[in-house]
């Protein structure tokens, strides 16, 4: 059984462009997003094994909301399309 640290989190404040890459340890995560969507979206993407291509690993978020997603350890980024004033937190949900 995998035990996830409850204090792992990544937060992004007032973004309107794709983020720099960041690492996640893997496990179950909660993603909360709020923004000015204007027909845009954000997608959580994971760096593929080729170390070049990012692939979508969470359905595009197009409105204020919350989702959970099970992720492997890896390198991720948030791709932002059109949306502005986006606030996102990605927080590990403790398992034990």
CATH number, domain of 37, equals 2.60.120
Whether residue 58 lies inside any domain: the answer is: yes
Which residue range(s) make up the domain with 58? 9-92
Planar angle of CA 54, 96, 30, nearest 5 degrees: 40
Q: Determine if the pTM surpasses 0.75.
A: yes
pLDDT tens per residue across all 96 residues of the chain: 455 446 899 999 999 999 999 999 999 999 999 999 999 999 999 999 999 999 999 999 999 999 999 999 999 999 999 999 999 999 999 876
Q: Domain count for the chain, please give it.
A: 1
């Amino acid at each position: 059984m995998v035990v996830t640290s409850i204090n792992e989190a990544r937060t992004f404040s007032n973004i309107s462009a794709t983020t720099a890459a960041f690492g996640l340890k893997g496990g179950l995560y909660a993603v909360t997003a709020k923004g000015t969507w204007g027909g845009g979206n954000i997608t959580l993407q994971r760096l593929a094994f080729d170390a070049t291509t990012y692939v979508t690993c969470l359905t595009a978020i197009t409105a204020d909301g919350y989702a959970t997603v099970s992720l492997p350890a890896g390198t991720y980024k948030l791709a932002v399309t059109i949306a502005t004033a986006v606030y996102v937190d990605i927080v590990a949900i403790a398992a034990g």
